[in-house]
Structure 1
Amino acid sequence: MELISGLPEDVARDCLIRIPYEQFPAVASVCKGWNTEIHSPDFHRRRRTTKQAQEILVTVQSNIDSEKTRTGLLAKSTTNPVYRLSVFEPKTGSWSELPLGPELAFGLPMFCRIAGVGFDLVVMGGWDPDSWKASNSVFIYNFLSAKWRRGADMPGGPRTFFACASDQNNQTVYVAGGHDEEKNALRSVLAYDVARDLWVPLPDMSRERDECKAVFRRGALCVVGGYCTEMQGRFERSAEVFDVATWKWGPVEEEFMDAAACPRTFVDGGDGAMYMCCGGDVVALQGDTWRNVAKVPGEIRNVACVGVWEGAMLVIGSSGFGEPHVGFVLDLKSWAWTKLVSPEEYTGHVQSGCLLEI
């Protein structure tokens, strides 16, 4: 059976890889051939190699109460915020919201972490929005079917404020550090094979790391900063790297960061450099040297989320507690900022985010 009647197979496939990701579920339901094609391993590869893949930033963002925003009562609200998944497409500047599954009908767990692998978005851990009890649950949203499924729970019990990073090629999510229900900082690291729904323990890190940050680059998991149980909020500058090929941790680099600070904005630039926001500056690590490359826009005093794609960095944050969250894009060549146009309903508090290439 032809994919598209009257067209050669290669031309038909060229048409299908140009479909926007939002239309994947509808296209897959047209016929068996289209469903098979869109779910084939080569489909994602062809979209990437032909530059048809779409970059999107998914954030864990609170719902906005428009009335409180207009009357200035947002910062004085005593009710617990309800978090959802917001999606921003840098190329088009459009915003949208992902539907939540039945088990998440009352909102995402507070302080949950998210990571993208292939066509899947993985939501891990966090606090139950009603009981505030820590969870080790895993939920997975598939962009091809627009459906949720439950993943295997994180082993070892609930952990909070852990780092996570994904390896798009191997369909693996890594979880590192954080703390347990007794607020003991953790050294343990886990790898989650999303396709097989299987968790595998990695060798422990050299030290406890609560509120650390992780990135996956060049075949290795890099875990940055954090603090041990006794230090409680006093961040350190160190980092350590796990080589997946050798299954070993390298030596700890004690002075990896230029300053002791929360590393949540630390990201891999994909251009050989790594970036983070620190003390009102955007700083870049190139080789062994950190340097200031830009000032964070004055409208952002608290940076909540940073994402980097080809030649650009997105920074989302607010001017203060309870204030609307706004976004700016930094051109990594000219170092010029452009403010995003954000509809009011997408200016809620952002807890975390991740970039996906779909």
Structure 2
Amino acid sequence: MEAEKKHQQQQEEQGENKCLIPGLPDDIGMECLIRVPHEFHSNMKSVCLKWQYLISDPSFYHQRLRSNTAEHLVYQIQPTHVMIDDDDVINSSQKKQKHTQHNTPPPLQYGLTIYNATYQTWQRMIPNFEIPIFCQCVTLQSCGNSKLVLLGGWDPKTLEPVSDVYVLDIIKGWRKGASMSVARSFFACAVVGGTKVYVAGGHENQKNALKSAQVYDVDKDEWGVLPEMEEERDECMGMCWDDRFWVVSGYGTETQGRFRSDGECFDPATASWSKFHNLWPFQSLSPKYNTTSTRGGKQCEWLWFLGNEQQQQQQFEHEEERRCSIVQLPNSVIGSVSVTTLGLGDHQCNQKVFLMSGNGSSLKKCNDCESEGAFILERDTSNGNTKWHHVHTPLAFSGFPYSTCHLLI
């Protein structure tokens, strides 16, 4: 047995000197391998040591970006609609009925959904830990070592806020990150400066709104404490703008559900907060949904995705001199949506945004779709013209996502 293992090891070591793909020059072999979809990369590592070393090296993903073969992946924290029981798929209503018969409420479960916008495929990632309910997800994009970070949320069993942090290194896999100093949920969160994640506000285990803020250095796996905000802000929106961390709207402990019109901005250069008024006109709507910050052409934009009724409620412009653009939602979409920018398309003015709605829209009549509510917007930033494309969404992936982010891999 020992001799067989030694012989196998020798063969693998000898294989390191062979071509990437037998019979092809390595440059042609590389062109083939970088075109394999990302979901198969873990399997490719098992083919041989040379492939394992190649796919574990950041230069492989850098080459995918340079050659335009990288894929647009949308990550979503989403309620799971199906479960497997005795090899049968049970939908959410059947699952609820089953638990009702045993006098126990159905467990609240969230999963990590991945929509591949390049190949138009859906899949659910199952990590080796239980994903907190309502956790935030953000991405750190780099040429060869991109990361997905999950932060906070509720414990699925106790429904109490948690301080947990999980990091998915696209090359190395999952790891448990350093925990936040405060367990929090429904907080503002954004990546600023490429390697740091800022969090602020939300609520703790007594459902009291928070003023506190922290910053997470993902590479160092270290948390730093920031000065407190001026106001309590539960269910607020976080975004990066001009290399600063913005916390928009939210509500205080005593005014739950009535969203503020102001916001606060943290400048890492001065390590201080500034307050801005007249940022958000909708008292009953959270800016976390229906909006996203993005870059249109050479300037930053804050996109608001609104229906006709919401547009009629808009009563004022921003006090701050920055651009806000309103995008008309498809007529079939009613209520809140979760959006994330996919970046620029074929040319510098062709912007793409992924949108997910939780309502079963009037487009349910689609012949090949079990469910509706997902769209990709193509927007010409030079003139504001928009075009919506419906995204086929299987029933298992149709739930409204609490948090959404994007990576180009």
Normalising by structure 1, report the TM-score. Answer: 0.83
State the distance in 1 between where 2:121 and 2:20 align. Answer: 30
Cα 1:91–1:63 shift into 2, 3 Å: same
**How many angstroms does 1:312 deviate by?**
1.9
Q: Distance in 2 between matches of 1:55 and 1:320?
A: 25
Q: 1:327 and 2:374 equivalent?
A: yes
User: 2:227 maps to what in 1?
Assistant: 203
Q: Letter of the aligned partner of 2:403 in structure 1?
A: S
Q: Which residue of structure 2 aligns with residue 314 of structure 1?
A: 354
Of 91, 112, 135, which aligns to 1:112?
135
Q: Percent identity?
A: 28
Matched, 1:254 2:291: no
Mean Cα deviation higher: 254-263 or 308-317: 254-263
- State yes or no: 1:136 paired with 2:163: yes
1:276 pairs with one of 292, 304, 310 = 304
Map of 1:279-294 to 2, 5 A cutoff?
Answer: 280=308, 288=322, 290-294=324-328
What is the Cα deviation at residue 256 of structure 1?
2.0
Check if 1:151 corresponds to 2:170: no
Assess if the C-alpha contact under 8 Å between 1:128 and 1:135 holds in 2: yes
Unaligned runs of 5+ in 1: none
User: CA, structure 1 residues 268+349, in 2 after alignment: closer, same or farther (shift >3 Å)?
Assistant: closer
Where in structure 2 are the equivalents of 1:162-177 lying within 5 Å? 162-167=187-192, 170-177=194-201
* Aligned with residue 60 of structure 1, among 54, 77, 98: 77
Corresponding residue SS for 2:275: coil
Q: Residues 257, 42 of structure 1: CA spacing in aligned structure 2 closer, same or farther, 3 A cutoff?
A: farther
Q: Which amino acid aligns with 1:109?
A: P
Name the residue aligned to 2:12.
Answer: none
After TM superposition, the structure 1 = structure 2 runs for residues 194-273 of structure 1, keeping only pairs within 5 Å, are 194-244=218-268, 246-249=269-272, 251-260=274-283, 261-265=285-289, 266-271=291-296, 272-273=300-301
Q: Which has the higher contact order (CA 8 A, sep 6+)?
A: 1
- 1:41 deviates by 4.4
Q: Per-residue displacement from partner, 1:44-65 (whole Å, max 9, x unpaired)?
A: 4443344333211111122224
| Conserved? CA contact 1:25–1:144, under 8 Å | no
Take 1:235 and 1:243, find their aligned partners in 2: how far apart are those partners?
Answer: 23
2-side partners of 1:158 and 1:18: how far apart?
41
Structure whose alpha-carbon radius of gyration is higher = 2
CA distance in 2, matches of 1:202, 1:32: 45
- Equivalent residues of 1:62, 1:83 under 8 A apart: yes
* 345 and 288 in structure 1: CA distance in 2 versus 1, 3 angstrom threshold: same
Contact kept, 8 Å, 1:325 with 1:349, in 2: the verdict is no
Q: How many residues align?
A: 347
In structure 2, what is the Cα distance between the partners aligned to 1:10 and 1:249? 51
Distance 1:326 1:69, change over 3 A: farther
> Are the aligned partners of 1:177 and 1:208 in contact in 2 as well (CA < 8 Å)?
yes
- 1:180-191 to 2 correspondence within 5 Å? 180-191=204-215
The equivalent of 1:85 in structure 2 is 112
Distance 1:187 1:346 in 2: 34
Tell me how far apart the structure 2 counterparts of residues 205 and 42 of structure 1 sit (CA, whole Å): 41
The amino acid of 2:149's aligned partner reads V
Measured in 2, the distance between the counterparts of 1:69 and 1:316 equals 19
User: Aligned partner of 1:131: which letter?
Assistant: T
Q: Which residue of 1 aligns with 2:347?
A: none
TM-score by length of structure 2 reads 0.73
Q: Which structure 2 segments of 5+ residues have no match?
A: 1-16, 83-88, 345-350, 365-370
